Amino acid sequence: MTTYNHWFIRARLKTRQLLLLVALAEEGNIHRAAQVLSMTQPAASKLLKDLEDVLEVPLFERLPRGMRPTWYGETMIRHARMALASLNQAHDELTALKTGHFGHVAVGAITSPGLALLPPAVAVVKQEHPSLRISLDIETSPVLLERLEQGKLDILVARLFAEHDKTHLRYEPLVEEPVCAMARPGHPLLGVSGLTLRDVVAAAWIVPPAGSVLRHRFELMFQEDGLAPPINVVESSALLFITRMLQQSDMVAVVAADVARYYAAHGIVSVLPLDMPCHMDAFGIITRTDRLPSPAAKVMMKALKAASLTLYGRKLEADLA
């Protein structure tokens, strides 16, 4: 039999104390935090003192013109945000069920799986659960990871680099991302037999911004072949600009292979027959281990895993707990 001897029950932790922690973190001042929560300053001060007394640690450092969270405070604020977000999620799910909807799931992806993996997975989910609401974000991995931490996204298909905080993250790798060169249909380089890096080093290139992983590996690829990297470049990661620019010029662009294949299949670009021995790091499915997945998130995860097996031949682990 489950026992309910949790510290927060013994301490009679109040939801208003969680709200106060978040408000203090955002306002930096107990007077303004009290105003935001429509309570008096003495009441707010008492709520905070009661919580600090129970925890037996100082949560905030009192400054002449405000308050600053201690390390203990930072920890409690983070968990308060997650607890409040979970309660909001519960309300949203109940509201959706009452109105006949299955729920909502928010998915974030980088561009390549956003084009190749998400569409078949979303199509399956919508066919089986028409009332399930799905929102999608296509962004860079750092942006998506921040939104996952904030509770704005449920599932990511993105990269996890060494510098990322992996605490409370579950990462299931899918596939390394090869890259290729694409140009407009009818481009002169398409007719070159045995195309090599030496043939394209003088071309006008559209490349990722300086400092990006792909830009570094693109330049390193030429250097390892005894060539100086191309100097006639335009820096951009905006696919609408890239494809339009290719159509209007003889420029060449380096992109993920899945992206190039998508645009080539629609006749917008052609893939150059050029061996490019560089690739992006593997991407995978990322979720948080410190949050309970909603029924909608479980349905989406199942569809993503089925689609990944078809696309990448990658069988992932068991479903979300």
> For 56-69, how does the pLDDT look when each residue is reduced to its tens digit (9 = 90+)?
889 999 888 889 99
What pLDDT sits at residue 7? Answer: 65
What pLDDT sits at residue 98? Answer: 63
What pLDDT sits at residue 1? Answer: 45
Q: Indicate left, alpha or beta for 38 from its phi (over 0: left) and psi (-120 to 50: alpha).
A: left
> For 205-222, how does the pLDDT look when each residue is reduced to its tens digit (9 = 90+)?
999 999 888 999 999 999
The one-digit pLDDT tens for each residue of the chain (321 residues) are 455 667 666 667 888 999 999 999 999 989 999 999 999 999 999 999 998 888 888 999 988 888 999 999 999 999 899 888 888 877 877 776 665 467 889 999 999 999 999 999 999 999 998 888 899 999 989 999 999 988 899 999 999 987 777 788 999 999 888 899 999 999 999 999 999 999 999 999 999 999 888 999 999 999 999 999 999 999 999 999 999 999 999 999 999 999 999 999 999 999 999 999 888 888 999 999 888 888 889 999 999 999 999 988 876 664 544
What domains can you pick out in the chain, each with its CATH number?
Answer: 7-84 (1.10.10.10), 102-176+281-312 (3.40.190.10), 177-279 (3.40.190.290)
What pLDDT sits at residue 121? Answer: 97
